[in-house]
Structure 1
Amino acid sequence: MASIGQIVDQTASSDVLHRAQQRAMLVPDCMVEAKRIANTVIAGWHGRRKRGMGENFWQFRPYAEGESLSRIDWRRSARDDHTYVRDREWEAAHTIWLWADMSPSMMYKSTFGSVSKESRALVIMLALAEILARSGERIGCPGIMEPVSARNAAERLATAIMHAPQATGLPDTGMIRGQSDIVLIGDFLDDADKVMDRITPLGRRGLRGHVIEVADPAEETFPYTGRTEFTDPETGEKLVSGRAENIREDYQRAYLARRDALGEGLRRLGWSFVFHRTDRLASEALVAVHGYLSGMPAPRRVETGRMEERS
């Protein structure tokens, strides 16, 4: 007769296998969608262009106070009443690490969301890999794939994800060396202080970071009424509310406070923060993070979804 411990181990192994099979079935469809979105977004773009050390002219832009006067293009400035500087294009290949949370909470999808959080996170990551690979960048995924510079980097990343072991929490980044960018995509529902405790050391090591928080609309708006049972997908813990609408205001206040605290912590670290809801277009988050990777200054927070107003 099997012991209780053996039964638990067998059940856990079965759950892990089932989870791996679910992910393996999901990734190919996400790759197709990612390519479609990448082709749409990249139309008219010419790589991940940004200013820096290089020989090729990129653009004229208005002079900003504090910049060196030697950068001013006086001939262009003489054409009108504005002062312009000449930017050159950064030419060195860069390493960008992409990571998407595959923990159980990411599987959530309400009737208000078009896809699960996991599906949307994978599409954004693979579409970004597709665009960056076409620009000649080196693409890697912490703990899953070493950086590669290849046109098929997105397909290689998708294959690596299909065969990756189950993991929870933020990735191990010990393998990342030198100046790189890292894009983290997940729901980040832990306390903001706990998330920042993991992220802050990365910033101190010189990594330029970009965080995309993916949320289902129901997680933000809390549309529940009456007797409702809530289950934590990570622990299985249950909470029953007799009248869910009575806790909506407190829930939304706590939810927004956590998100604002995370965004503020990332801003202080010099990282960008994009909030994205699954009822919005994936291309919105893709365009936002691509802009930051191209050197656009990060504002306090970018949202590609918003809290719905209630009367």
Structure 2
Amino acid sequence: MASIGHIVARTPSGEVLSRAQQRAMLVPDCLVEARRIANTVITGWHGRRKRGIGENFWQFRPYSDGESLSRIDWRRSAKDDHTYVRDREWEAAHTIWLWADLSPSMMYKSTLGAVSKESRALVLMLALAEILARSGERIGCPGVMEPVSARNAAERLATAIMHSPLSEGLPDTGMIRGASDLVLIGDFLDPADRVMERLGPLARRGLRGHVVEIADPAEEVFPYAGRTEFTDPETGEKLTAGRAEILREDYQRAYRARRDSLGTSLRHLGWTFIPHRTDRAASEALVAVHMHLSGMPGRAAHGGLS
């Protein structure tokens, strides 16, 4: 997805080879960091509840075509224009699909960011896999790895990512069957309505989604001044600003509007939205996602935004 910054576009063939090599070198270090963060976050944690056919209330979620009408909670549904079903807890393993955007814009890192967006996304995905695997969940990655229930799920996912072909945009979710959790990690810089065109149908299929938006600090504050050349890492298009500082206010307004629109639309679907900046600790976003997956959104952190 499109990004800003001083990035030099390469030829298509050279770009593909370079990106594949960089990813292969990046993943092992990300796995080590993910395990370190997971060990920190998991301390004192006693597992997460799971939804299913148990007796205790779990959550409300949008009704999906084909589900039994007896599961509809008509009182909750009467509060707005959507139909909701009542989920209950279950003591069986649940399938959770994890995905990280590895498109060219995710390679961006300004001098204000601690790591690239790609590195942070990979660390969060692998740390989640590590934590969830320890509680016996099935972990999968759309188009990369079929769901597995194994203690070494994070390592297997890292290996699968290293050997998977490069892909652009949101993942193909055709292989996902039934009600599952889907965690999407990326920069989501496309217009909000375009992103929702892809995500809306997933919610209607009964998927419970969690979107983590990774942002470099420079993408929020726009620190540029003077003559500055910006290159879109995905199209190679260039924009030269003679005085970049005069664009700051309009840019920040548009950036915040896109984020607010996306967050509002996702919450309307019953999904969660967690903005996170790469100058903040990865554990902040990890805890936020973990709390939402655990059914404790009130305890979820904001993910690391000022």
Shared fold per TM-score greater than 0.5: yes
Q: Is the 8 A contact 1:93 1:137 kept in 2?
A: yes
Distance 1:234 1:196, change over 3 A: same
Residue 176 of structure 2: aligned partner: 176
Q: Secondary structure at the match of 2:114?
A: coil
Quote the Cα distance in structure 2 between the aligned partners of 1:245 and 1:239. 14
Residue 231 of structure 2: aligned partner: 231
Note the 1:119-138 alignment, pairs <5 A. 119-138=119-138
Task: Kindly indicate whether structure 1 or structure 2 has the higher relative contact order, using CA contacts under 8 Å at least 6 residues apart.
Answer: 2
Quote the Cα distance in structure 2 between the aligned partners of 1:51 and 1:165. 33
Residue 28 of structure 1: aligned partner: 28
Q: Is the 8 A contact 2:291 2:300 kept in 1?
A: no
Residue 290 of structure 1: aligned partner: 290
Quote the Cα distance in structure 1 between the aligned partners of 2:251 and 2:300. 23
- Gapped runs of 5+ residues in structure 1? 1-10, 57-65, 68-87, 307-311
Quote the Cα distance in structure 1 between the aligned partners of 2:243 and 2:20. 37
Note the 1:188-203 alignment, pairs <5 A. 188-203=188-203
Deviation at 1:16, TM superposition (A): 1.1
Q: Is the 8 A contact 1:97 1:183 kept in 2?
A: yes
Deviation at 1:48, TM superposition (A): 2.1
Distance 1:122 1:40, change over 3 A: same
Note the 1:35-184 alignment, pairs <5 A. 35-49=35-49, 54=54, 90-184=90-184
Letter in 1 for 2:35: K
Q: Is the 8 A contact 1:272 1:299 kept in 2?
A: no
Q: Secondary structure at the match of 2:230?
A: strand
Corresponding position: 1:268 with 2:262? no
Q: Secondary structure at the match of 1:295?
A: coil
Letter in 2 for 1:138: R
Q: Count how many residue pairs are aligned between Structure 1 and Structure 2.
A: 268
Q: Secondary structure at the match of 1:203?
A: helix
Residue 215 of structure 1: aligned partner: 215
Quote the Cα distance in structure 2 between the aligned partners of 1:299 and 1:189. 27
Q: Secondary structure at the match of 1:253?
A: helix
Deviation at 1:149, TM superposition (A): 0.2
- Compute the RMSD of aligned alpha carbons: 2.3
Letter in 2 for 1:44: G
Letter in 2 for 1:191: P
Q: Is the 8 A contact 1:180 1:208 kept in 2?
A: yes
Letter in 1 for 2:266: L
Deviation at 1:54, TM superposition (A): 4.7
Q: Secondary structure at the match of 1:179?
A: coil
Letter in 2 for 1:249: E
> Which segment drifts farther, 294-303 or 125-134?
294-303
Q: Which has the larger radius of gyration?
A: 1
Q: Secondary structure at the match of 1:304?
A: coil
Deviation at 1:92, TM superposition (A): 1.7
Quote the Cα distance in structure 1 between the aligned partners of 2:193 and 2:300. 17
Distance 1:300 1:42, change over 3 A: closer
Percent identity between matched residues is: 79
